[in-house]
A and B are shown apart, each in its own frame.
Chain A
C-alpha cells in the first residue's frame, strides 16, 4: 500500500491511485490553497499558490527534501512522498504569492459579486499578509461587459489562472476564450465577434476563483452570504446533474453545479443553469380548485382531498377499467409509487400510463472539435430527453403493470369512451397539452389535473391540484444511467400549492407527514428493481440502482447512449 506523508500524517493510497500533492493532502484533510488547478482541467501550475515542500522518504528512514518549494498541483505523489504544507518556508511562499496576486487586484470587494465565496478573500485571510507594499498606482484594465450573452468580465479583478480558457478548450472544446497580450498587459478576451455562447459557457463563472467572470443573470441580485442552498438535481434533462439551489426568502437566485463523479462530474449546462425561471412564473397554480355546480371554485386542501378520494372511489366502483392515472417523467419515484399504490388499492383493474419524456434534438456531447463534432470520449453530455426521472417512473410503472403511452393515445381512449376518469399529472415547464388535445377531455366524467403551471387542460378539470416545481420537493430522481439521487426541498411554494409528494401522500389517506427517506425504504421493500433505495438517505452523490455491470442495460431501454457520457473521464 503506497503511503504518503502530509505534515507527518501518513495517508494510504490505493495501488492504482494517481494523485498530485493537493489531492493527497485533501485525503489527509489538509488544505493546500490553489487557484489555477481544477480536478477536471489540465495542470498549468501558473498561479503558484500551491507551493509546498516535497521530499522523499528513503527505505532506510531518512528523508531527502527538495531544496526549494514546488507547485503541489504539478507534483505527483508516490510511495514515500513527504509533503510539508505549513513550514515557515511554505508560509513565506504563500504570503509572497498572495501579495503578488493582489498587486493589481482592486479592493472593490463591497461591490463584487464573488465576495463571500472568493478564493482571494479566503486565502488572503488564511495565508496572506495584512498589507501591500505596492506604492505605485494599480494597473486598472477596462471591463469587458460582453464576453457572452450570460457572461461579463471585470478585467481588473482577474488573477490570470486561465481556468476559463482551459475549460473552453478542454471541456466545451469551443475555445472562445484566450489570453491576449503578455506580462502585466495580460487579459482574458474573446476573439472579435466570437462571443462565448456555447451551451456550457456558464461554467466559466463557477470556475473563476475570483469575481472576474460574472453571470449577468445573477449580477448584483444578491450577496452570496444571504443565499441558502439545498442540494438537488437539475430537472432539465436525464443527465441529472447534481446541483445546489440557492434561494433567499423563497426566491431562487441561481443554480450551482455540485461535484458528483457518479452523475455529471463538476459542471452543468446553461439550459439547466438558466432554465429554472418557470419556478417563479406568474402562471403558477396557487390554490386547489374544484368544479362545483356554481363553477370552478377555490377549495381548501382539507375539503378537496376527501372529495377527490370519494370521487375516485366511486369511479373505481363504477368502472375500474375506465379509471386511469397518467404519470409523467417529471415526478419523483416516491410520488409515482404513492399514486400508483393508492389507485391500485382502489381497484386492481385501474389502469396506469406514463407519457413519454419529451425529446428535443439529439444528445449533445462535449468537447466539440473544430467542425463542431463531438469527441469520441465525451466529457459532458446534454441529453435529448428533457425530463429528469423517466427511468425511475418507468420502474414504478412496470411494477404496477402500466404502460408508456403518448398523451394522444390516452386522450383517444377518453374520446372513445374506454376511459371515463383520468388523473393527469404534469409538471412539465413546457406546455404538455394543446387546446385541441384538451377538448377530448370533455367526454370524461372525472378529470383530475395535478400540475405546476396553467394549461389548456384546466377548464376541463373537475379537480385541479396545484403541485410544485422540483426545487420545492423532496424525492428521488433516477437519471439515464440508473443513478438514484435525492432532491431536497429548497424553498416554500407560492400560495397554497403543496409538494406533489405530500398531495399523493395525503390523498392516499396515509397518516403522518410525507418523509421521502421513509417512503424510499417502503418502495425498496416492495419493488425489487428499486431495492437499492433501502438505505433511505441517498447521500450527496446518490446510488446506482444496479451494480456497475448491469447499469448499461438499465439505461438502454430507450435509444439512449451508453453510460459513460456525463461523468468525468
Chain B
C-alpha cells in the first residue's frame, strides 16, 4: 500500500547508515570548544554593525522602489500623456487619472494632444511593485529612493500631480534617482531611422521576419 503511494520507486532509494561516532566525538568536547571559540570571537569584536538610523542613512540598492515621481520634460511640462497605462497595469488600483485635452492655443502645449487633469496615487494602497514604471510609454512615472514616507492623515498620503512633480524636483539632482531618459513625447515610428532598414525591400521570402525578432545586427547597433 505504502509502496504504491510513494512517488519514488524503491529502486531509486539508497539507504544509508549514519557514521559511527569516534572516541573524542562521543565526549562532545571538540564541539563545545569550537562553539565557545565562536562566542569569544564575537565578544572581542568591537567593530559595530548596527546602522545608526536616522542619523545615518542606509545605502539602498539602485533598483530600490520607493515613492513615485512624475517626471517633467525639457520644457518643464509634466511628461505624462494621461494614457492610463499605469493605472491599467496597477495591481493595487491605486492610481486615479482624469485626462483632459491639452490647450491647443497655448504654444507650450501645442505639440501635445492629451494631458492629465488630475493624477492621484494613493501611496498607502500602493504595493511598490513598479508595474506603473514598466507600463509607462513616455517614462513619466518612476519610483524613487524615498522610502521614509510618513503622514498624519490618509488624505495626505494621496499624492496628486503637483506633489508628484515636487518629488521629481526634489530627487532629480540625486545621483541615485537620475533622469533616465529625455523621451518626453510619444515618438513616431520613424524613431527607428537610426536603424538600417531590415528585411528585403520587395519579395517576402519563406519564414518571414515579421514573426521573428529583428536580426542580431540591429540589436547590436540599438
Chain A contacts to B: CB under 8 angstroms? 88, 92, 95-96, 102, 105-108, 110-111, 128-138, 140, 143, 145, 154, 219-221, 223, 225-226
From A95, A138, A145, A226, B189 is in contact (CB under 8 Å) with: A138
Contact between chains at A110 and B81 (CB < 8 Å): yes
CA–CA, A132 and B214, complex, Å = 11
Contact between chains at A133 and B197 (CB < 8 Å): yes
A-facing residues in B185-215 (Cβ within 8 Å): 186-190, 192-193, 197-199, 201, 204, 206, 208-214
If A129-B208, A130-B211, A131-B199 are given as contacts, then 6 extra A-B residue pairs at C-beta distance below 8 Å, sorted by A number, are A92-B208, A110-B83, A130-B212, A130-B213, A137-B188, A140-B188
CB distance from B216 to the nearest CB of A (A): 14
Interface of B is mostly: loop
Query: Is B88's beta carbon under 8 Å from chain A?
Result: yes
The segment out of B1-9, B50-58, B96-104 that lies at the interface is B96-104
Contact-residue size bin, chain B (C-beta under 8 Å from the other chain):
20 to 34
Q: 5 closest pairs, A vs B, by CB?
A: A129-B210, A110-B83, A220-B99, A111-B114, A138-B188
16 residue pairs from A and B, CB less than 8 Å apart: A92-B204, A92-B208, A102-B189, A108-B113, A110-B137, A111-B82, A111-B83, A130-B212, A130-B213, A131-B192, A131-B210, A135-B193, A135-B197, A220-B114, A223-B84, A225-B88
From A96, A107, A131, A145, B186 is in contact (CB under 8 Å) with: A107
A-facing residues in B63-103 (Cβ within 8 Å): 81-85, 88, 99-101
Contact between chains at B100 and A108 (CB < 8 Å): no
- A223 to chain B: which residues have CB within 8 Å? 83-84, 88
From A88, A106, A133, B199 is in contact (CB under 8 Å) with: A133
CA–CA, A92 and B199, complex, Å = 14
**Given A92-B204, A96-B204, A106 and B197 contact (CB-CB distance below 8 Å):** no
- Tell me the nearest residue of chain B to A111, going by C-beta: B114
- B88 to chain A: which residues have CB within 8 Å? 223, 225-226
**Given A110-B83, A220-B100, A134 and B210 contact (CB-CB distance below 8 Å):** no
Contact between chains at A130 and B190 (CB < 8 Å): no
- Tell me the nearest residue of chain B to A216, going by C-beta: B101
CB distance from B88 to the nearest CB of A (A): 7
CA–CA, A145 and B105, complex, Å = 12
CA–CA, A367 and B99, complex, Å = 37
- B190 to chain A: which residues have CB within 8 Å? 134-138
CB distance from A251 to the nearest CB of B (A): 12
- B100 to chain A: which residues have CB within 8 Å? 220
From B81, B83, B210, A130 is in contact (CB under 8 Å) with: B210
Chain B contacts to A: CB under 8 angstroms? 81-85, 88, 99-101, 104, 113-114, 137-138, 186-190, 192-193, 197-199, 201, 204, 206, 208-214
Contact between chains at A132 and B192 (CB < 8 Å): yes
CB distance from A137 to the nearest CB of B (A): 5
CA–CA, A30 and B222, complex, Å = 39
- Tell me the nearest residue of chain B to A137, going by C-beta: B190
CB distance from A146 to the nearest CB of B (A): 11
- B204 to chain A: which residues have CB within 8 Å? 92, 95-96
- B192 to chain A: which residues have CB within 8 Å? 131-132, 135
- A92 to chain B: which residues have CB within 8 Å? 204, 208
CB distance from A17 to the nearest CB of B (A): 36
**Given A131-B210, A220-B100, A111 and B113 contact (CB-CB distance below 8 Å):** yes
CB distance from B77 to the nearest CB of A (A): 14
Contact between chains at A110 and B186 (CB < 8 Å): yes
- B197 to chain A: which residues have CB within 8 Å? 133, 135
Of A88, A154, A220, chain B has the most CB atoms within 10 Å of the CB of: A220
CA–CA, A470 and B2, complex, Å = 66
- Tell me the nearest residue of chain A to B192, going by C-beta: A132
- Tell me the nearest residue of chain B to A130, going by C-beta: B210
CA–CA, A137 and B193, complex, Å = 8
**Given A129-B208, A131-B199, A220 and B188 contact (CB-CB distance below 8 Å):** no
- B137 to chain A: which residues have CB within 8 Å? 110
- A134 to chain B: which residues have CB within 8 Å? 189-190
CB distance from B95 to the nearest CB of A (A): 12
- B193 to chain A: which residues have CB within 8 Å? 135-137
Contact between chains at B188 and A107 (CB < 8 Å): yes
- Tell me the nearest residue of chain B to A108, going by C-beta: B186
- B81 to chain A: which residues have CB within 8 Å? 110-111
Contact between chains at A131 and B198 (CB < 8 Å): yes
- Tell me the nearest residue of chain A to B135, going by C-beta: A110
CB distance from B206 to the nearest CB of A (A): 8
- A220 to chain B: which residues have CB within 8 Å? 82, 99-101, 114
- Tell me the nearest residue of chain A to B211, going by C-beta: A130
- Tell me the nearest residue of chain B to A110, going by C-beta: B83
- Tell me the nearest residue of chain B to A107, going by C-beta: B189
CB distance from B217 to the nearest CB of A (A): 13
- A131 to chain B: which residues have CB within 8 Å? 192, 198-199, 209-210, 214
CA–CA, A92 and B205, complex, Å = 9
- B187 to chain A: which residues have CB within 8 Å? 107
- Tell me the nearest residue of chain B to A96, going by C-beta: B204
CA–CA, A135 and B99, complex, Å = 33
CB distance from B210 to the nearest CB of A (A): 3
- Tell me the nearest residue of chain A to B188, going by C-beta: A138
Contact between chains at A106 and B198 (CB < 8 Å): no
- B138 to chain A: which residues have CB within 8 Å? 110
CB distance from A142 to the nearest CB of B (A): 11
CA–CA, A106 and B113, complex, Å = 13
- A95 to chain B: which residues have CB within 8 Å? 204, 208, 210
CA–CA, A220 and B199, complex, Å = 37
